[in-house]
């Protein structure tokens, strides 16, 4: 009874740690550009597909998004992917030139309307194909060079604006999580057999 009770208490403690970790992740503060062009702060659990994220230098990306514009003249930005693949070297990303020129400030993106058509949520961290269409511009194709993954960190640029494409369980990061196999010691295995008998 003592061993079974101890195992149950350990499992309950691990479940509670997962719960608090999820709660902390959902409460992270994220900046978005609202429809009137004003930057406002919301919790990451309130980010929806289609929201325009305003990501500042050093910010962790809360959802998969397509780059609309950056603070640099050429529309470039750099991301650190250490949370995804352990690599600390910076990866260059680029907004589509027409988008960057048309929507270069949070105020210019006010009232932005358009459609992003892309792959359904998947697991590939290296492949994404999409296109964006908006009344002001002709249809533009996009790929991984124009796409930011959840969990990456913005570096070497003051800000990046991106349209949210996947959130929550649909993000590439979440779809690549592997549930850890349960850790069961030999003693627990023998006890389980004895309890069943």
pTM of the model: 0.79
- Is the predicted pLDDT of residue 147 greater than 90, yes or no? yes
- Is the predicted pLDDT of residue 173 greater than 70, yes or no? yes
- The residue ranking higher by pLDDT, 180 or 139, is 139
What band does 5 get if pLDDT is binned at 50, 70 and 90? Answer: confident
Mean pLDDT of 97-115: 86
- The residue ranking higher by pLDDT, 162 or 196, is 162
Instruction: Give the pLDDT of residue 180.
Output: 61
What's the CA gap between 166 and 170, in Å, rounded? 6
What's the CA gap between 184 and 175, in Å, rounded? 25
């Amino acid at each position: 009874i003592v061993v079974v009770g101890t195992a149950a208490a350990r499992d309950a403690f691990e479940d509670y740690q997962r719960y608090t970790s999820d709660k902390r992740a959902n409460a992270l503060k994220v900046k978005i550009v609202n429809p009137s062009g004003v930057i406002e702060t919301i919790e990451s659990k309130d980010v929806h597909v289609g929201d325009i994220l305003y990501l500042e230098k050093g910010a962790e990306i809360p959802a998969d998004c397509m780059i609309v514009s950056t603070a640099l003249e050429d529309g470039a930005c750099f991301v650190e992917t250490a949370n995804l693949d352990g690599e600390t070297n910076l990866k260059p990303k680029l907004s589509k030139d027409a988008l960057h020129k048309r929507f270069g400030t949070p105020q210019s993106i006010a009232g932005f309307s358009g459609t992003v058509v892309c792959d359904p949520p998947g697991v590939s961290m290296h492949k994404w194909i999409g296109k964006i269409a908006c009344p002001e511009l002709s249809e533009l194709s996009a790929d991984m060079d124009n796409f930011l993954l959840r969990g990456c960190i913005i570096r070497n640029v003051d800000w990046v604006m991106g349209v949210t494409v996947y959130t929550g369980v649909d993000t590439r990061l979440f779809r690549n999580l592997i549930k850890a196999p349960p850790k069961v010691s030999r003693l627990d295995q023998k006890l389980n057999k004895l309890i069943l008998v």
